[in-house]
Each structure stands twice: as C-alpha cells, then as structure tokens.
Structure 1
Amino acid sequence: MIYILLILALNFSCVEKKSTEKEVKNSELVISLKADTLKFTSGIRAIFQDSKGNYWFGSHNEGVSFYNGKSFEYFTTNEGLSDNQIRSIQEDKSGKIWFGTAKGISVYDKGKFTTYSTNFNNPRYEWNETNGDLWFYAGEEDGINRFDGINLNYLIFPKPKNKKPDTTYGVTDISKDKDGKVWIATYGALFNYDGKRVNIFDNEKLNLKDNELLHIRSVLADSKSRIWIGNNGIGVLLKKGDAITHFSKEQGKLIPINEFEANTKTQQFAKNTGLQSVFAIEEDSEGNIWFGDRDSGAWKYDGKTLTNYSMSDKRSKPMIWTIYKDNKNNLLFGMADGNIVKYNGKAFEKQF
C-alpha cells in the first residue's frame, strides 16, 4: 500500500509540474507578442477604444493589436482569432471585446478567445424574431450576423426587385442613428432596420442613373439625422429625410465614370483626385463630416465648404481604411500603410 501511495504521489507531482510548465509557456508566449511600437504594415481596418481607455487596432491581414498606454500586444489566429483580417471591433455591456473578421466572429474575455461560426444552413427571414445590439459582417453572403447574447443569428436581406445576377450583399459598414435604427451598407444596396421591418435603398431608391453603379463601402448616420453613403466609384450620396442628393457630384468632385473605371482596371489610382472612392465616414465633435478616400486623402465638410487634405505626397499608400473618434474626441485615421494618424485641428500627425 505504501508503494502504491508513493507511485500515485509521484504521478500527481509530475502532473502538477506539467501543468505549471504549460502555464509558464503560455505566459511567455503572450510576453513575446508585446512591442513598444505598432508594427502593422498591411493597413488599419478598424480602431476601437474600450470603456477602460485601452485601444484595439484591427489590421488588414495581421490580426489585432491591444494598446494599454504603455505597450502593444498582438493577437492572431495563433492565439485564437478566427481570422487575421479584422472588419470591426465592438464592446458589449459586460466588457467583452468582439471582433468581426473575414471568416467568423471572435470574442476576447479574460485572456481567452471564443469563436462563433455562422449557420448559413439555418437562416432567418423574420428579423424581429431576434434581438441584440451586436451586428457583424457575414461573409460575401446575402445577410448579416446578429448576436443575441447566446446565439449568432444569420439574417437574410430582402432583395431589391431589379436585382442583377452579379450583385452581392456582403456587409461593408454599419451605423446606428439616434433613434436606434440600424443602417447597413452592402456592396449592392443600403438596408435600414427599424426594429420591425427592413427597408431597401437600391439604385432606383437612391435616384441613380444607369451608369452610376452602387458599390457602397461606408455609411454614417450623423447627429443631424442625415445619412451619408460612401461609394467606391460614384462618391458620396446624402439622404436628408426623404430627399436624396448626389453630394460628390454637387460639389464637383467626381471624375468621369468611364475614366474612373479605366483607372480601376489599370490600378492607376493616382488619377482620382476627387471624392470618389470613399471607404470611411465619421463626424467630429464639432459636427464636421470627414471622408476617407482610397486615393485622394481626407476631406472635411463643415456644412458649407468641402476641404481636401491630400496625403499622397507624404505616404506611399494614401488610402484611408477607417476614421474613428476616440473617447477624448480625437479623430484617428487608419491608413493602408499600417500607421494611425491624428488630426490635431491644423494638421495630421502620427499617433501610433
């Protein structure tokens, strides 16, 4: 009996040692992923500051970086992310951080990642049968993900009547207005959900001509209840109440469509100097509306004047992926070269 107890004690000791070694190894792995500077080079697609003041930066294909004010910590698929391309970052009421990626949704809580996958085989058509404040990109499918606190629900978009065969409805941006309505930008149409029904804004509803094709990349519901719609190709559309205007065209900031299409096909984007390829829209603390263009830099509209801040002479990749207003009302611009710049009221300066 003594011999058996001795063997059991030795085995338990070995298990304890292995468990400790595993914990130390995980701790060392986290430490090895920390740095003093932001080291992304593939572009910043999402910026978020959480309720504790920490920053989270989502890259185009290098995962996520967490900044606590002192150092940057990095997370990729190796640490549990569902994909390294980050489309959105949100925080729920309990402080969990949610990442919408190109291939699923991941949530970070107490040092661990949990991944949720969409059930495309069981889509929902009645949106009002679900609830939840967290909305996510659902791949290049025909719907959107909505998390109700327990389950991830895949909701199908109602299709426009004149839907073209090659039209896709992958979600590109989401904005909530002050009445709680959700505005969902997709490549082929803008959708609005008011809690009861889904409204469609397609080419016809947005008063577009036959050669003005929707390719929506951004949407913003501002403090004045205006809806700004940013396109890759035809610039910005503006919805005020029931009235819809072609903002970029009115401002005289569009090059001819045929010339733009030629530039797109040949990758000669530098010829686009107008407000034409708008991937990001944000409102600052003074009510100015900011646009981030793929080619021509940042634009500010103060209600009367549209001002361009070109970045092409300063950066090898002038594209602005995202614009974010942080907890101190700083306006941060996520650039395609992996840097984050801040507008200080007079000029742009590197922030991270």
Structure 2
Amino acid sequence: MRVKSDSKNTFILYCTFLIVVTISCNNKSKPNEENKIVNAKKSIQHLDRGINAIRLKYTTGVRSILEDSKGNIWFGSYNEGVCLLHNGELQYFTTENGLSDNQVRSIYEDKNGIIWFECGKGLSIYDGQKIAVYKGRNYDSTKQWKLADTDLWFKGDEIEGYNKLEENPGVYQYDGKKLSYRTFPVIPRPGDGFKYYISTPFIKGKNGTVWFGTYGAVIGFNGSDFKILDNEYLGLNAETGSLHVRSIIEDRKGNLWIGNNGIGVLKYDGKKVVNFTAQQKLKKEYTKGNSLKKVFSVGEDTEENIWFGTVESGVWRYDGNSVKNFTQEDGLESKHIWTIYKSKKEELWFGGANPSGVYRFNGKSFERKY
C-alpha cells in the first residue's frame, strides 16, 4: 500500500510541474504575440494611409490654392475646374456646377466668408452652399481709384482683350458691396497685344501699395499715385528680352520680386531694378542645363528664403547668399510649378503640372502632399 501511495504522489507532482511549465511558457509568449499583433495593425494602418492618401485627379495642373477661414482647402486647376477638400474628402466643381470657366487662376475669400474664383473668363462665388456665376458689374466710376484693406481685385472678364464695357486696360475692385471696374492710367499702343492683361494674383505691399502683374508691366497704386514698371522704365527691348510677367511677391524686407517667362527674375527695391537671374549667372548660357529663366511662381518661407518655381527647370531656393536647384531627383515630379502658396501654418505648398500635384519641402527634399 505504501508503494502505491508514493507512486500516486509522484504522479500528482509531475502533473503539477507540467501545468506550471505550460503556464509559464504561455505567459512568456504573450508579449511576443501581442507585439506581433500590434506591429501587424501598425503595418495595416500605414498601408491604409498609403492607399487612402488624398490625391487630386487633375491632369492639367494645379494653378491656384486657398485655405479658407473654415479650414477647407480649394485647388484651382488649369482647365478642369476647382476642387474642395473638406473633412478629408475631395469634391470637384466645373462649369456644370456653376463656374464661369474651367480655368481657375486665383481664389480669394472676402470679409464675409464668400469664396471668389477668378476664372479664365468671368468670376464665380461660393456662398457655403453652391457655386454660381457672379454677374454684377459697375462701370460708372472707372477712374475713381481708392484703397481699402479688405478690397479684392480681379482681372477683366475676357480671356483676351476687353469687353465693350471695359474698353480699356484695368481691373475689377470689390469693396464688399459691389464690383467696379477701374482703368489703368495707360494708353495702349498699336502692337501692345496683351501687354496690360492681368497675369498674376494681386498683392498688397507693406507700405499699402497694391501691385498688379500684367504680361508687359507691373503696376502699383498706393492710394494716390501709380508706379508703372514696364519695358520702357526698365530699359528692356527685343535685344535684351522684354517682360512676360507670370508672378510677383513682396518679401518681408519690402523687395518686389518679378518672375518672368523668358528673362527670369527681376528684383525691385523701390529705387532700382536688378536682373537677379543675370546677377546670379543662372541664364541657360551659364548653367548649361536647368536655368532660372522661365519663372511662373515666387514665394518666401518663414526663414526668408525666396523660392522660384519654373517650367522644366525645377524649383530654386535663394537663402540670401546662394541659390540651390531642386528637381525630380529631390522628389519634385512636376515640371511646371504654377503656384507657390503659404498655408496657415506658414508651410509652402508648390502646385504643379506635368504631372499635376501639390508638394511640400520637408527640409531635405520634396514630397507629394495632395
């Protein structure tokens, strides 16, 4: 009987040992299994972000951008209407949805929260519900120029030339109540062609001057006087190359930067104009490759670097001392940078074409944002 009792006790101890070992092993394996599950979830989430990344479907290029007061982002295309990014979803609008034209050159928000679209032909607005063509116009005070901080300014209604009521070169001024046409103090000459057609968004300078870029001139108005920077003022001609203005900005120091399609960048400090492209030896004959001649966009970042978007020559950055070129090798796929937009977080967004997309600079290279 004693032998049987010892055998029984031994069996019980052995079983207890096996249970303890099994539990111990299971407990040790749990963290590994949990880690595997967590890592798998992270991989899936990362994959989902890649698959569901917000990407504009435009093919003709992103020509204009606006981040409005409600946190929505608007993207104007070269010839495919406008797109609204709201709550992570994209909604597209064309002439079928109320736009006056599918080319959206500039986008603004007025003091009442109305979004304005300056199209290739005509104007449209978004009131928070729908887009509609804006038809109201006033032509009774074409020479009564005045300034207010909240004014918006727009190009003429036609893609080329002027309609019968506009007659002469000028801009539309919206004061929050009505849209009035103002004529520039210029006398068009035979052969001027599109010299005084608006070609850039308007900008407001630090001293109160509003600047308008036209294909053949940059015109400033300070509330009382006009400043006209044209070929005659700059001493440009057929031999030196003439103005073909595609972008203007005023930097924090008050310098006016003028991007041209052909003669590159001009810098105006209020007294004299310098051909920045020639000064930096960035003409094609100097670089033997990418050049700073066809400049369609200019922007300034928080560190006061000046950025230039070009056609076929990537993006250039000027840090006050030297100029650096960024191309496809640096993640910039678009070969035509239409616009450089500063977001509310003061991040520069580069809207381009061929292929279309919106990019940001991460400090080392470019990455696709939209």
- What TM-score bracket applies, with the shorter chain setting the length? 0.7 to 0.9
Q: Closer, same or farther in 2 for the Cα pair 1:164/1:53, shift >3 Å?
A: same
Contact 1:123/1:153 (<8 A) preserved: yes
Amino acid aligned to 1:128 = K
Match of 1:154, SS state, is strand
Q: Closer, same or farther in 2 for the Cα pair 1:274/1:72, shift >3 Å?
A: same
Greater C-alpha Rg: 2
Q: Closer, same or farther in 2 for the Cα pair 1:255/1:129, shift >3 Å?
A: closer
- TM-score w.r.t. the length of structure 2 is 0.76
Output the CA distance in 2 between the equivalents of 1:222 and 1:127.
25
- TM-score w.r.t. the length of structure 1 is 0.80
Amino acid aligned to 2:307 = W
Is residue 303 from structure 1 mapped to residue 320 from structure 2 by the alignment?
Answer: yes
Identical residues among aligned pairs (%): 43
Match of 1:204, SS state, is helix
Output the CA distance in 1 between the equivalents of 2:193 and 2:112.
41
Match of 2:216 among 188, 191, 207: 188
Q: Closer, same or farther in 2 for the Cα pair 1:163/1:277, shift >3 Å?
A: farther
Q: Which runs of 5+ in 2 are unaligned?
A: 1-52, 162-168
Match of 1:222 among 232, 251, 257: 251
Amino acid aligned to 1:309 = F
Amino acid aligned to 1:345 = G
Match of 1:281 among 280, 288, 298: 298
Contact 1:160/1:200 (<8 A) preserved: no
Output the CA distance in 2 between the equivalents of 1:178 and 1:116.
30
State the Cα distance separating 1:309 from its structure 2 match.
0.6
What's the counterpart of residue 142 of structure 2? 124
Q: Which runs of 5+ in 1 are unaligned?
A: 1-34, 258-270
Contact 2:298/2:309 (<8 A) preserved: yes
Match of 1:151 among 169, 172, 178: 178
Match of 2:320, SS state, is coil
Amino acid aligned to 1:192 = G
Q: Closer, same or farther in 2 for the Cα pair 1:124/1:256, shift >3 Å?
A: farther
State the number of aligned residues.
Answer: 305
Is residue 320 from structure 1 mapped to residue 347 from structure 2 by the alignment?
Answer: no
Contact 2:332/2:367 (<8 A) preserved: no
Contact 1:230/1:281 (<8 A) preserved: yes
Could you give the per-residue CA deviations for residues 45-67 of structure 1, whole angstroms, max 9, x where no partner exists?
Answer: 00111112221100011111111
State the Cα distance separating 1:113 from its structure 2 match.
2.3
What's the counterpart of residue 250 of structure 1? 279
Contact 2:217/2:230 (<8 A) preserved: yes
Contact 2:299/2:306 (<8 A) preserved: yes
Output the CA distance in 2 between the equivalents of 1:223 and 1:165.
33
Output the CA distance in 1 between the equivalents of 2:115 and 2:96.
18
Match of 2:233, SS state, is coil
Q: Closer, same or farther in 2 for the Cα pair 1:110/1:54, shift >3 Å?
A: closer
Is residue 237 from structure 1 mapped to residue 255 from structure 2 by the alignment?
Answer: no
Contact 1:49/1:326 (<8 A) preserved: yes
Output the CA distance in 2 between the equivalents of 1:120 and 1:203.
31
Contact 1:127/1:197 (<8 A) preserved: no
Contact 2:136/2:178 (<8 A) preserved: no
Output the CA distance in 2 between the equivalents of 1:272 and 1:219.
25
Output the CA distance in 2 between the equivalents of 1:272 and 1:119.
48
Amino acid aligned to 1:246 = N
Contact 1:295/1:312 (<8 A) preserved: no
Could you give the per-residue CA deviations for residues 232-282 of structure 1, whole angstroms, max 9, x where no partner exists?
Answer: 10000000120211100001111369xxxxxxxxxxxxx862100111001
Contact 1:87/1:137 (<8 A) preserved: no
What's the counterpart of residue 61 of structure 1? 79
